[in-house]
Amino acid sequence: MQHYDAEFLALLDRYLAGESSAVEAEQVRQWLAADSGNQAILNDVDRIRGVARNRPPATRVDAAWTRAVSELGLDAGMDSAHVSAPTIQPRAHRPAHTETSRRTWTWRAVAASLAVAAVAAIVVTTSRPPTTQPKAEAREFATARGQRLNVQLADGSKLTLGPASRVKVAEDFGASTRELTLVGEAARDLADYQRLTSEGKLGEAGQKLEAEIRHCRACHCLGLSRQASP
Amino acid sequence: MAFKPNVRETERDSRSEPLNRDDQTLVRRIRAGDVTAFEQLYRDYWNQLYNFAFRYVQSSEEAEDVVQEVFFAVWKGRAEWHITSSLQHYLFVSVRNAAIGRLRRDSTMQRWRQRTVGEDDTRSQEATDALVESADVNADVERALSEMPPKRRAVCALRWIDGLSYAQIAERLGINEKTVENHIGNGLRFMRSRLTQH
């Protein structure tokens, strides 16, 4: 197989999208003319773009699982001895974290993200002005590999925590603070995001991060992207 | 141009991975009849297997049926369930076999109909083979998409699904355009490597 570097393949991507400059387009045309086999490479890129663009219709895992439970008789046949204890452990009523300990926690999260490429360490801070009130207690939720968890936040919004992820959130999220620390993947409900934005509760950093979180969900399953995007 | 591998993020190729410890635990729990473990497996893989199956059967309902068929088989045959490859690879191969089986069954029925009116069924067989081959290519692109690192997948989704320019993606994700270009280019390189195996 002939190797082309990322830069050149990205050029072909822009060429096919009609976004290349006149100089770049001419470069591609000359490359095509130089070898009849090059057309096949351009066709490959075109096919990849096409497959990625034409997403299958959305599917709903909850509905599918309900059907599986029904058809396999899992609801009736559940043996409590076989149902393992949940590994998702909300840790409530922890002492309030000092600024230093919060920084340490975040630093550890960042270190973890460097060690594991799939992990992202993110801190959401919205435009709410600083408050002199003492920090509320934080709750931490974590999922094991292969697990997901719906977390109901104190402000009424929901967050779906992806596999092998954890989130730390103030117990009074939405009141004294809108700070949230996430390691891994999570998805915010689109309706929550739109409501918070319309109410002006999300600052620029918050909006940017919310977009990224929603795309984490999108990227986990490209089929959901259109549903999840505004 | 030089070949420049990206050392910061690398794509996984589950086809060559052995069964890791987490997967071994999950398989052991499912074999023991742990419904929670089965639900974990189901929810973790449902979407990507559905997208993969859709590339073969081109129908939402049939793709869901194919994936259900595989999960049902796993649960019903859990006591005898032994796998040596990665769990992900096992599931993708199972879905592929189920989907192709469905295509060939449909094709067989079609050939029976054609025989009754005296048509040449060799041509029909060739058409089915070509259909399967084409579906295999698209399905492998789909699988490669699901195996890209999360950040790269997000960039590619914004590019090819949402149709954003490199500049728009860079602004949305707070990264520079060169990084976007690297993600797109490396993503294409990885997926092309899958295409050329056909």
pLDDT tens column, A172-223: 776 666 666 776 667 665 555 556 666 666 555 555 555 545 444 433 333 2
- Whether B187 has a pLDDT exceeding 90, the answer reads yes
A to B CB pairs, distance under 8 Å: 204
pLDDT at residue A62, rounded to an integer: 94
Q: How many angstroms separate the CA atoms of A16 and A69, rounded? A: 45
Q: How many angstroms separate the CA atoms of B148 and B81, rounded? A: 28
Domain borders along chain B are 14-139, 148-198
Indicate the range of A150-159, B38-47, B51-60 predicted with least confidence. A150-159
Interface of B with A in 49-68 (CB under 8 A): 50-51, 54-55, 60, 63-64, 67-68
Closest chain B residue by Cα to residue A16:
B160
Structure tokens at B41: 């497996």
**Average pLDDT of chain A to the nearest whole number:** 65
Chain A residues within 8 A of B9 when measuring between CB atoms: 117
Instruction: Render pLDDT for A91-149 as a digit per residue (tens, 0 to 9).
Output: 333 333 333 333 433 344 433 443 333 333 333 433 344 444 445 577 777 777 667 77
Comparing A152 with B35, the larger pLDDT belongs to B35
pLDDT at residue A83, rounded to an integer: 41
Closest chain A residue by Cα to residue B197:
A1
Q: Could A68 and B189 be called an inter-chain contact, meaning their C-beta atoms sit closer than 8 Å?
A: no
Provide the shortest C-alpha distance from residue B171 to chain A (in Å).
Answer: 9
Provide the shortest C-alpha distance from residue B116 to chain A (in Å).
Answer: 35
Instruction: Render pLDDT for B127-186 as a digit per residue (tens, 0 to 9).
Output: 778 888 888 989 998 999 888 888 898 999 899 988 999 999 999 999 999 999 999 999
Provide the shortest C-alpha distance from residue B146 to chain A (in Å).
Answer: 7
pLDDT at residue A133, rounded to an integer: 47
Q: How many angstroms separate the CA atoms of B190 and B18, rounded? A: 20
CATH for B148-198, among 3.60.20.10, 3.90.700.10, 1.10.3210.10, 1.10.10.10? 1.10.10.10
Q: Could B50 and A59 be called an inter-chain contact, meaning their C-beta atoms sit closer than 8 Å?
A: yes
- Which of B34, B42, B151 lies closest to A82 in CB terms? B34
Q: pTM here?
A: 0.59
Answer whether B178 touches A (CB < 8 Å). Answer: no
Q: Label residue A161 left, alpha or beta by phi (over 0 means left) and psi (-120 to 50 means alpha).
A: beta
Give me the architecture of the B14-139 domain, per CATH. Orthogonal Bundle (1.10)
DSSP letter for each residue of B170-191:
HHHHT--HHHHHHHHHHHHHHH
Which of A31, A66, A116, A221 has the highest number of chain B CBs within 10 A, making it the mutation to test binding with B?
A: A221
Instruction: Render pLDDT for B98-143 as a digit per residue (tens, 0 to 9).
Output: 999 998 887 666 666 666 656 566 666 777 788 888 889 899 989 9
Q: Are A155 and A135 in contact (CB under 8 A)?
A: no
Q: How many angstroms separate the CA atoms of B190 and A9, rounded? A: 11
Rounded mean pLDDT, A155-164:
72
Rounded mean pLDDT, A8-35:
95
pLDDT at residue B132, rounded to an integer: 86
Rounding to the nearest 10 degrees, give the CA dihedral for residues A189, A193, A194, A199: 140
ipTM metric: 0.80
Environment class of residue A63 by beta-carbon count within 10 Å: exposed (0-12), middle (13-18) or buried (19+)?
A: exposed
β-strand A180-183 against A149-152: which pairing, if any?
Answer: unpaired
Indicate the range of A31-35, A38-42, A175-179, A192-196 predicted with least confidence. A192-196
Q: Which residues pair with A161 in a beta bridge?
A: A149, A186
